[in-house]
Amino acid sequence: MIPEPTTAQTITHWIQPENVLAVLIAAVLPGMRKSVFFPFAGLALYGNWKIAICVCFGYYLLMYLMGGSNDVCE
């Protein structure tokens, strides 16, 4: 017979501990905006922290490029 999984095993099956750690680290970063943190937290907890970092970096890059303060010549 297969034993019943424990509560900790059930939780870590759905939410990986390294993803929770990535969200906690992102929460204490200085200058982390809520508009970036909440999508990052959702992506990290639902999917994978590596994908969340790529998506949020892309968002930051897009916002930087759309802003007016990215003059290279100055």
Phi-psi region of 42 (alpha: psi -120 to 50; beta: other; left: phi over 0): alpha
- pLDDT one-digit tens code per residue, 9-40: 887 777 888 888 888 888 888 877 787 788 88
Give the whole-angstrom CA distance, residue 39 versus residue 45.
10
pLDDT at 51: 84
Give the whole-angstrom CA distance, residue 74 versus residue 69.
10
pLDDT at 2: 83
Average pLDDT of the residues of the chain: 79
Report which of residues 68 and 26 the model is more confident about. Answer: 26
69 pLDDT band, cuts 50/70/90, is: low
